[in-house]
Structure 1
Amino acid sequence: MANSCFQLVLFLPLFLMFVSLEASRFSSNSSNSKPSCIGIERKALVEFKKGLTDPSGLLSSSWVGIDCCTWMGVGCCNQTGHVVALDLGNLGDCYDKKIGYAPTTNSSCLGGEVSSSLLNLKYLKYLDLSMNDFQGIAIPNFLGSLEKLSYLDLSNASLVGMIPPHLGNLSNLRHLDLLGLSSWVSDLNWLVGLSPLKYLNLGNVNLTLASTNWLQALNMLPSLSELRLRGCELHNLPHSVPNINFTSLSVLDISDNNFNSSIPQWLFNICSLLQIYLCSSYMKTSVSDIPWGNICNLRTLDLFENQINGDICELIGGLVECSNSSLEDLWLGSNQVSGQLPDYSLARLQNLRYLLLFNNVISGPIPASIGRLSKLEMLDLSFNQMNGSIPDGIGKLANLNFLLLDNNYWEGSIPMNIDQMMLSLEVLDLSGNFLNGSIPLPVGRMEHLAMLYLSNNYLSGKIHDQWRDSPSLGIIDLSGNNLHGEIPSSICSLPALFWLKLSSNYLSGELSFAFQNCKGLTMLDLGDNRFYGNIPKYIGKDFLSLSELRIRANMFSGNIPEQLCSLTHLHILDLALNNLSGSIPSCL
C-alpha cells in the first residue's frame, strides 16, 4: 500500500459504454433478418489473424464461418453489417500486474504483428488490443489512418517505441489509452487535433521531451474529462496558466512524477474536478497555501508521499468550507502534517470512506466525533505521535474494514464488544503502542477478521482459547508482549491461519499434539519464550508449507529431528540459543 497510489474505477461516457457493449455482443448479428459481414472486411480480418500468434487457439476456434459478425470480439452495425468494433483486449491473466509484464508461460496472449489489413475496416470505431503481448514491436503508424476510430486502447500490450504523431489525425477519437507501453513522445502537439477527446491515459509513457509544454498542449482539449499521466517522468508543473480550458475535467492523475515544486493555485480553480491524484510527485506545499474550499465537488484527494506540511486542523477545516462536503477519500500518508485532529470539522466529512493519515507528525487523541463518520471503511493513523486512549466512538464504525492505529502512544485496554460493533473489520493493527490488559475474548469471534496485529504492547495474561469463530483469520501477531501460559489448541482450529508470531513473551509448555493441527502455517515464530521438550517431529511431517521456522531462545532439548529436511519450502530456520544436543542432520 505504501508504494502505490490508489485509484477508483473508471467511468466511461455513455456513448463509449454503448460502443463497448456493441463490441462484446459477439453473436448479436447471427439472425437471418440482419445483414452478415461485408466480404472485404471479412478478408481483412482473416489477414489480420494471419499476422497474430495465438498459442491457445482462441481465434482459430471462434473465427470460423462466413459471417464474421458472429466471430468473438467482432461487433457489426445492425443496419449495414459493417465491422465497427474489434474487442480483443485480454481479460484473463495475460498481463500480470504483480510482476508488471506478460508471463512467457501464458498461452492466452495474442502476439505477433498488427496487420495493416485493418485499414480495410473503413467503419471501425472501436479497437481494443490491450493486455496482450506483442513482444516489443513498434506501435503501428497506420493506426492514425483509421479515421472513424472513437475508441483506441493499446494499454499494457507490450508495444514500444515512439508514439506515432499520426494518431493526431484521428479527429473522432474520444478515448485513448496507452498506459504501460515502453514508449515515448517527441512532443504532444499532435493532440491538438483531437478536440473531442474525453479520456486520455499516457501512464508510464516517457514524456521527458514534452515536459516543458505538456500542459499547454493538453489545455487545447476542451472536452477532456479524464487525464492520467502517472509516472511519465514529467518535471515541470507550471505555476500559472493564462487560461484554463479544462472546464469538463473530472479526473486528474499526475502522480509518480518529479515536479519538485509546490501545488499550483490554478489546479484548485478547476471546479469540475472529482478526483485528484498527486501522490509521489515531490510536492512541497503548506496546507495554508491551498484554497481547499474551491473544489466543492471533490471526492478523492490523493497527496500520499509528498512534502506537505502544516496543521491538519487547517486542512480539514478548509475541506469542509463547502456546505455539503462530497469528499470520500483522503490519502495524506507519508507527509509532514502536524497538529491535532479537529473534532467539529472532522465530523462534517460525512461521506468519507477512506481516511489515511499515516506516517505524519499528528499528535493528540482521536476526537470522539470519529464515530459520526458512518461510511468510513478504512482508518489509518499509524506512525504518528498520537496518544490517549482509543475512543469508544471507533466502535460505532460498523462499515470499517481496516483499522490501523499502530506505532503511536495509545494507552489503556482494547473497543471489549468489538465483535458486536465492528462487524465488517478485516484488518486490526494496534501494534507498537502502550496498550495493556488482556486480549479480549471478542477478538476471537470476529467473522471477517483476516489480520490481527497486537505486537509490541504491554498485553498480559494468557492467550484465550476462543478462536473458533474467526474463520477468515490468517495472520496473528502477538509478539513482544507479557503473555504467559501455553498456546491454546483452538488457535490451530482456524482454517485460514498461515502466519503465527508469538515471539518475545513468557509463553511456556511443550508443543503438544494439539498444535499438530496447524498444518497450513507458512511462518511460525515462537522465539524468546520458555517452551521446552523436544522439537516435535510432526513439524517436519505435517507443516509442509512452512517457509520460516523460528524457535530460538527457548529451552528445547534433544536432537534436531531429521524430519525437518522434508520442509522443501523452508527458507529460514532459527534454532539458536536452546539446549539441543547431537549432530546437525546432514540433509540440512
Structure 2
Amino acid sequence: MHSPSCEYIRVSDLKDPANRLASWVAEEDSDCCSWIGVVCDHMTGHIHELHLNNSDSDWDCNSCFGGKINPSLLSLKHLNYLDLSENNFNTTRIPSFFGSMTSLTHLNLGYSWFDGVIPHKLGNLSSLRYLNLSNYNLKVDNLRWISGLSLLKHLDLSHVDLSKASDWLQVTNMLPSLAELIMFDCQLDQIPHLPIANFTSLVVLDLSESYFNSLMLRWVFSIKNLVSLRLSYCGFQGPIPSISQNITSLREIDLSSNSISLDPIPNSIQNMTGLKVLNLEENNFNSTIPEWLYSLNNLESLLLSYNELRGEISSSIGNMTSLVNLHLDGNRLEGKIPNSLGHLCKLKVLDLSENHFTLDSWHLGLEWPMWLRTQTQLRDLSLSGTQISSTIPTWFWNLTSQVEYLNLSHNQMYGQIQNISVAQYSVVDLSSNHFTGALPIVPTSLLWLDLSNSSFSGSQLYFLHLGNNNLTGKVPDCWMSWQSLRFLNLENNNLTGNVPMSMGYLQYLRSLHLRNNHLYGELPHSLQNCTELSVVDLRVNGFSGSIPIWIGKSLSKLNVLNLRSNKFEGDIPNEVCYLKSLQILDLAHNKLSGMIPRCFHNLSALANSSESFFPTRVYSISDEDRIIISENTILVTKGIEMEYSKILGLVKGMDLSCNFMYGEIPEELTGLLALQSLNLSNNRFTGRIPSKIGNMVQLESLDFSMNQLDGEIPPSMTNLTFLSHLNLAYNNLTGRIPESTQLQSLDQSSFVGNELCGAPLNKNCSTNGVIPPATVEQDGGGGYRLLEDGWFYVSLGVGFFTGFWIVLGSLLVNMPWSVLLSQLLNRIVLKMYHVIVEYV
C-alpha cells in the first residue's frame, strides 16, 4: 500500500553519487516505509524518522549526499527524527525551513559541512530534545534563539564559530532540561562569571580547546549531577578550586593541557570513589603524587604526563587494581619502580619514560623487575629514556606477544635481538641503544619498526611490506641499516614529508611502492644510486618539481614508472627516452607542459612485442627457502582503473593525460608498435592525428579527447583491429569516420564534440551538410564542380550573389585584386550551398 507520506519525499535536488537512495522509487504501488533510511509508524503509515547520515569515513566522501534539501520535507507533519550527519553540503546553508518542522525532537546535522550562519528559526523547534550542529564552516551572531528550546537535552556545537556569541553561557544556563553541553573548539575567548549555576540537569560539559586564559571557575565544580567534565586546552591557570563534597557523580575529569598548579590538589577528589578517568597531563603540577590518590581503586585511567612531578612512586599504587592506562612519563620521578605494579593485572598501557628512575636492579642483565613479568595484558609499553643498561631477557618477548606499541628507545641496551614478537599491526621503537649483530627477524604484520642509531650489522632483510595500514608521520631516515633490501612497499598509508636521502643507500632495491600517501617535495637525487630499480610507483602523492633527468640516466632497468596524480611540472626530459626497458609510463594528472619528446620511439620495450619483464621475482634465502614476490601497479586503461599483478609483465601502456602539454602529436610516436594503451586526453595538443596511427596494431585503448586536434581521422585507423576503447571527443576533427568493423561498433560518445559524420553517428555525410573533401573537386578551369543534387536551392544563392557580383564587378573592373575577390565569392557560394542543403 502506498504510504500517504511517500509523495512528499522528493530528492530531485539531492546529489547521491553512490546511489544510496536506489530503493527510493516513487511508483504508485511503492511503500516508502520499506525504503532505506525511512522509518514509519506501521499503523498509520506516517513517516517518523529519516536516517540519511553517512557512515562511510573515506576522505573523498564518495557516498556523501550533497546539493540541496527539498522543502517538501515540510509536508511530513509527523517527522520527529532527521539525521543528515557526515555528509557534504559544502557551500550550502542550513535551510531556514527546518525551523518550521515543529514536530522534530531529534535534529542531527553534525559534520555535514553546511556553511554560513545558523538560522535563528531553529529556535522555533520547541519540541527538540537533541540538536547536533557540529561543523567547521558554521557560525552564529548570538545564541539567544536557543533559549526557546526548553526541552533540549543534548546540544553539540563543536567547531562552530561562537566568537560573537558573548551570551553563550547565560543562554545555555537557562535551559532547564539540558543534560549534555558540548562546545569543543568553538573559538570561545571568555567565560562569564556565574554567581549561581542552574545546570541542575547537566551531566556532560565539554568546553575543550577554548581560549579562556583565566583562573579555574568555582561554579564548574558545583554542578552536582555532573558525570563528565572536559576542559582541556582552555588556558586555565592557578589551582583547582575546592570541589563541593556533594559532587560524587563525576566519572571523568579532563583538565589536560592547561597551566594548572598542584598546590593544592583538592582532597575532595578522594570522595569521588566512582571516578574512572583523571587526566591532568601537561600542566604545572610540581609536587609529589599525593598518597590519597592511590586510594582511588576504581580509577581506570590515570594520566599525569608532562608535569613536574617529583619523588617516588608509592608502593600503594598496587591498590589501584582497576587501572588500564597509566601515564607518568615526562616528569621528574625518581627511585625504583615498585614491584607492586605487578598487582595491576588489568594494565594495558604503561608509560614511565622520560623520568629519573635509578633502576639499580636493572643493571643485572636478566634480572628485570618481577612486576613486569606479570603484565600479560599490556597493550602499550614505553620505557624510553629510563637508563636501562642490560640485554633484553628471553622471557620479555613472551610478555610482548599482545603489545601493540613498544618503545624501549634511548637507553643503553646491548646484545643481539634474535626476533621480535609483538601483536599484529604493531609499532616497535628500539632506536638509540647499543644492539649489535644481524638485524632481528621481523614479523610481516609489523606496522612500524625503528632500529636506528644502534650498531646492527650484516642486515639480510630483502622484503619489507608495510602497505595498506594506517601509518602516519614521516618515512624514517634509517635506510643505511637496510642495504640488502630488494622490495619496499609503504603504499596506502598516511605518511607525510619528504622521501629521506638515506633511501639512496638501497643500491639493490628493485621495487619501490610509495603510492597513495601524503608525501611531498622533490625526489631526492640520492635515488639515482638505486640503479637496480625495476618498478617505481609513486602515484597519488604531492611530489613536485620537474621530473628528474637522472631517472633516465641512472635507472636504466626501469620497467614501470608511475608518477600519476602528483604535482610534477615542466617538460618531460628527453632522458626518459633512455629507458629501453620501460613498458609502463604513467605521468597523468600532473602539471607537465611542453611537447611530447620525439625520441619516444627509442623506448624499445614499447616498440617490440617480444620484450617483456617478469613481475614475479624469486629470492633465495637458503638452499631450501625462497621468497616469491609479485609486483603490481594500478593503471587506468579503457577508462577503468585496474590493478595488474600476475600479467603486469605483458602490459604496455602510456598515459600523459590531464596535463598542460601542447604541440603536435609526433609521427614518431606511432613507432611504438607494441603499445596497448595510449592516453593523451585533456591536454592542449594541436594539429592532426598522426597518419600512421594504424601501424600501432596492438592498441586496445586510445584516448585523444579534450584537445584541439583538427583534420580528418586517418584512414589507417581502420587497421586497429584490437581497439575496444576509443575516445576522440571534443576536438576539431572533421569529415567522414573511416569505415571498419571496429570503428562502427563503437559508441557515439567516442566522436561527439567534432564535425564528423557517418556511422556510428547519426549524421549522414550526404544529407546533413557535412561534406567530406572528396565530394568537392576542382574542375579543369580552376573553378568548382558542385554536387548534382540540390540545384534548385543552390540557384537561389547563386542568383543572389550573381546580382551582387554585377554591382561590384562594375566597380572593380580593371582592379588588380579582383581575381582574389572572385575566388572569395566562389567560396562563399559553396558555403551557402551547404547551409541550404542542411535546412532542406
1:173–1:197 contact (8 Å) kept in structure 2: yes
1:181 is displaced (CA, Å) by 4.4
Match of 1:87 among 45, 51, 76: 51
Write out aligned runs for 1:161-310 (5 A).
161-211=116-166, 213-241=167-195, 243-287=196-240, 289-291=241-243, 293-310=245-262
1:341 correspondence with 2:303: no
1:157–1:181 contact (8 Å) kept in structure 2: no
1:549 is displaced (CA, Å) by 7.0
Match of 1:516 in 2: 462
Write out aligned runs for 1:8-23 (5 A).
none
Tell me whether 289-298 or 79-88 shows the greater mean CA deviation. Answer: 289-298
CA distance in 2, matches of 1:168, 1:353: 40
1:449–1:473 contact (8 Å) kept in structure 2: no
Q: Deviations over 1:395-434 (max 9, x none)?
A: 2222222111111112322865567522221211111222
Q: Match of 1:61, SS?
A: coil
Give the unaligned 5+ runs of structure 1. 1-35, 97-102, 553-558, 577-583
CA distance in 1, matches of 2:253, 2:393: 36
Match of 2:728 in 1: none
1:527 is displaced (CA, Å) by 7.9
CA distance in 2, matches of 1:326, 1:334: 24
2:501–2:524 contact (8 Å) kept in structure 1: yes
1:454–1:478 contact (8 Å) kept in structure 2: yes
Q: Which amino acid aligns with 1:179?
A: S
Q: Which amino acid aligns with 1:318?
A: S
1:76 correspondence with 2:40: yes
1:484 is displaced (CA, Å) by 2.9
1:461 is displaced (CA, Å) by 3.0
Distance change in 2, residues 1:482/1:318 (3 Å): farther
Q: Which amino acid aligns with 1:449?
A: V
CA distance in 2, matches of 1:415, 1:340: 26
Match of 1:484 in 2: 436
Match of 1:109 among 49, 61, 64: 64
1:482 is displaced (CA, Å) by 2.9
Q: Which amino acid aligns with 1:271?
A: K
Q: Match of 2:44, SS?
A: coil
Higher-Rg structure is: 2
Distance change in 2, residues 1:292/1:432 (3 Å): farther
Q: Match of 2:406, SS?
A: strand
1:498 is displaced (CA, Å) by 3.6
1:175 is displaced (CA, Å) by 0.3
How many aligned residue pairs are there? 506
1:544 correspondence with 2:489: yes
Q: Which amino acid aligns with 2:295?
A: R
1:292–1:315 contact (8 Å) kept in structure 2: no
1:310 is displaced (CA, Å) by 2.2
Q: Which amino acid aligns with 1:351?
A: N
CA distance in 2, matches of 1:73, 1:535: 55
1:178 is displaced (CA, Å) by 0.3
1:75 is displaced (CA, Å) by 1.1
Match of 1:54 in 2: 16
Q: Match of 1:543, SS?
A: strand
Q: Match of 2:115, SS?
A: strand
1:150 correspondence with 2:97: no
1:455 correspondence with 2:402: no
Match of 1:330 in 2: 278
Q: Match of 1:60, SS?
A: coil
CA distance in 2, matches of 1:383, 1:496: 30
Q: Deviations over 1:9-51 (max 9, x none)?
A: xxxxxxxxxxxxxxxxxxxxxxxxxxx5643x21110x2x111
Distance change in 2, residues 1:253/1:461 (3 Å): same
Q: Match of 1:119, SS?
A: helix
CA distance in 2, matches of 1:128, 1:440: 55
1:85 is displaced (CA, Å) by 0.9
1:461–1:484 contact (8 Å) kept in structure 2: yes
CA distance in 2, matches of 1:42, 1:348: 60
Match of 1:497 among 427, 443, 446: 446
Distance change in 2, residues 1:137/1:524 (3 Å): closer
The alignment's C-alpha RMSD in Å is: 2.9
Q: Deviations over 1:263-287 (max 9, x none)?
A: 2111111100000010111111213
Match of 2:93 in 1: 138
2:23–2:36 contact (8 Å) kept in structure 1: no
Q: Which amino acid aligns with 2:489?
A: L
Distance change in 2, residues 1:470/1:417 (3 Å): farther
1:551 is displaced (CA, Å) by 6.7
Q: Match of 1:386, SS?
A: strand
Q: Match of 2:39, SS?
A: strand
CA distance in 2, matches of 1:292, 1:396: 33
Q: Which amino acid aligns with 1:185?
A: V
1:347 is displaced (CA, Å) by 2.5
Match of 2:309 in 1: 362
Q: Match of 1:403, SS?
A: strand
1:176 is displaced (CA, Å) by 0.3
1:416–1:440 contact (8 Å) kept in structure 2: no
1:37–1:82 contact (8 Å) kept in structure 2: no
1:118 correspondence with 2:73: yes
Match of 1:320 in 2: 270
Q: Deviations over 1:486-539 (max 9, x none)?
A: 333xx32x232243222333334x223xx33554499666689xx8xx942xx1
Tell me whether 271-280 or 377-386 shows the greater mean CA deviation. Answer: 377-386
Match of 1:506 among 455, 464, 472: 455
1:411–1:435 contact (8 Å) kept in structure 2: no
Distance change in 2, residues 1:51/1:223 (3 Å): same
2:340–2:371 contact (8 Å) kept in structure 1: no
Tell me whether 419-428 or 252-261 shows the greater mean CA deviation. Answer: 419-428
Q: Which amino acid aligns with 2:188?
A: L
1:42 correspondence with 2:6: yes
> What percentage of residue pairs aligned between the two structures are identical?
34
CA distance in 1, matches of 2:506, 2:220: 65
Distance change in 2, residues 1:318/1:461 (3 Å): farther
1:470 correspondence with 2:422: yes
Q: Deviations over 1:357-410 (max 9, x none)?
A: 111101112211222222211111111111122222222222222111111112
CA distance in 1, matches of 2:91, 2:159: 15
Match of 1:556 in 2: none
CA distance in 1, matches of 2:505, 2:151: 72
Match of 1:398 in 2: 345
Distance change in 2, residues 1:476/1:454 (3 Å): same
Asked which structure has the greater RCO (Cα within 8 Å, sep 6+), the reply is 1
Q: Match of 1:447, SS?
A: helix
Q: Match of 1:361, SS?
A: coil
1:63 is displaced (CA, Å) by 4.3
TM-score, with length taken from structure 2: 0.56
CA distance in 2, matches of 1:264, 1:451: 38
1:479–1:503 contact (8 Å) kept in structure 2: yes
1:133 is displaced (CA, Å) by 0.8
Q: Deviations over 1:218-256 (max 9, x none)?
A: 111010000001111111212333x32211100001111
Q: Match of 2:42, SS?
A: coil
CA distance in 2, matches of 1:364, 1:437: 25
1:226–1:250 contact (8 Å) kept in structure 2: yes
Match of 2:396 in 1: 443
